Amino acid sequence: MMQFSPFAGGLAESQTLAITATAKRMKAQGIDVAPFAAGEPDFDTPEFVKAAGLQAIRDGRTKYGPAAGLADLRGAVAEKMAATGYTGLTADRTIICAGAKPVLFFALAVLLEPGDEVLVPTPCWLSYPKMVQAAAGTCVWVETRPDQGYVIDPDALRAAITPRTKALILNSPGNPTGAVQPDDVQNAIGKIAAEHGIAVISDEIYEHMTYAPARFRSFADLAPDAHDLTLIVNGVSKAYAMTGWRIGWGGGPKDWIQRMIRLQSHAMSGPPDINQLAALAAVQGPTDQLEAMCSRFLERRTVICDALNAIPDVRCPTPDGAFYVFPDMSAYLQASFEGEPIGDATKLAGLLLEHAHAAVVPGDVFEAPYAIRFSYACSRDDITKGIARVAAFLGSLKRP
Ligand code: PMP
Ligand code: GLU
């Protein structure tokens, strides 16, 4: 029998991708599934971005490119990061990868030694712990609570530090909660990181999705003390509805980035020029479609929060950013269905898919087993009809 590595070889499949794929399959079979699982905008990539991709194909940009990514895109990304507060960030301190995912993956892979600890505020995006595991590191959870708006407590973070603490992953606006970490909290985190020499990976992929009065500020802007230790991660997937184009980037200390580039040169080479040139058009182009998309998300957030909060004993905080809501469903985990106790969010999510035709992601995968994630990156009609089915199904359960 083959013996696989318990690190990269021991990973479970990404449930967000798996549930989204199941929902798409059901839809193709003609079932009206409410697509609340997908972590991707339902809008189309802007036409001017597609045109740039097509032009790149016509121009024959079909060869290997530089392992670090195209110089023009690196320059544009550096300029953007410098403008949002990462003073002095230059193009040679950036890397372009096939999505934000490999940026995070490579960042952890070159940083961690076996047994190193990474502080991860929970609820957290499901791939962080898997990437830490693949890099032979260990996650140390720092819990945040729905009744505190999922805001990180810097004292709890400090208390979780040990001599093995190597890094911290920050994600604001956050997936799955939509929480935007307040300026003073991010500033305090920067001070703690600088004091203890802890690297900070700030995943800012939902930068453009905040809803007034909340607003986005980069960790680099709020925590200048930690610049030598900060890696900012971002990309075009969410803001420009480009999930399938697979372009993301990182900017940070030169020695960290150089190591990531060397790893990328062996693991996958630079991402396709065609996709990078489309991404360059996106970041340099007009922002009207982005703004229109955000105002649609804002309307839908109200619709979904109101509908969920109208269900007895469901508590759905209104998030400040991203396009997810993360209601507390604990009241229904104690219920039973056909004589069987439900017990956990994974079981409840499976029942909702089967009986309410609502594709959702259970909180277990985000280290929050009391909740369920609903993405509202879908039409108002899908939201209204889908949540009505969820409400009817929950109402039919036998509760203690
Ligand atoms: N970070 C977070 C918090 C995400 O939700 C996602 C979702 N895709 C990613 C990173 C990965 O982005 P990409 O699709 O660009 O790899
Ligand atoms: N990040 C999105 C999500 O959380 C997309 C799927 C994935 O890459 O995990 O659903």
Write out the chain's pLDDT in tens, 400 residues: 899 999 999 999 999 999 989 999 999 999 999 999 989 999 999 999 999 999 999 999 999 999 999 999 999 999 999 999 999 999 999 999 999 999 999 999 999 999 999 999 999 999 999 999 999 999 999 999 999 999 999 999 999 999 999 999 999 999 999 999 999 999 999 999 999 999 999 999 999 999 999 999 999 999 999 999 999 999 999 999 999 999 999 999 999 999 999 999 999 999 999 999 999 999 999 999 999 999 999 999 999 999 999 999 999 999 999 999 999 999 999 999 999 999 999 999 999 999 999 999 999 999 999 999 999 999 999 999 999 999 999 999 998 8
The answer to whether 231 touches 250, Cβ cutoff 8 Å, is: yes
For the chain, list the domains and their CATH numbers.
8-44+289-396 (3.90.1150.10), 52-284 (3.40.640.10)
Query: Ligand 2 mean position to 196 CA, how many Å?
Result: 31
- Is 17 a pocket residue for ligand 2 (Cβ < 6 Å)? yes
| Ligand 1 contacts CB of residue 175 (under 6 A) | yes
Ligand 2 pocket residue status of 35, Cβ below 6 Å: no
Which ligand is located closest to the Cα atom of residue 17? Answer: 2
Is 144 within 8 Å of 122 (Cβ atoms)?
A: yes
Choose which residue among 11, 13, 14, 16 to substitute to test ligand 2 binding: the one with the highest number of ligand atoms within 8 A of its C-beta. Answer: 16
DSSP states along 96-115: EESSHHHHHHHHHHHH--TT
Q: Which atom of ligand 2 is nearest to the CA of 176?
A: 4
DSSP state of 123: S
Strand residue runs (E) in the chain: 34-35, 94-97, 117-122, 138-143, 165-171, 199-203, 230-235, 248-251, 324-325, 336-337, 340-341, 358-359, 361-362, 372-375
**Residue 386 one-letter amino acid:** G
* Count of Cβ atoms closer than 10 Å to residue 58 Cβ: 7
Sign of CA dihedral 260, 266, 270, 271: negative
Q: Quote the pLDDT of residue 1.
A: 86
Our mutation pick for probing the ligand 1 site, out of 104, 201, 237, 365, counting the most ligand atoms within 8 A of Cβ, is 237
Q: Are 118 and 170 in contact (CB under 8 A)?
A: no
Cβ of 105 less than 6 Å from ligand 1: no
Other CB atoms within 10 A of residue 302 CB: 12
User: Token pair for residue 254?
Assistant: 């030169």
Indicate whether this model's pTM tops 0.95: yes
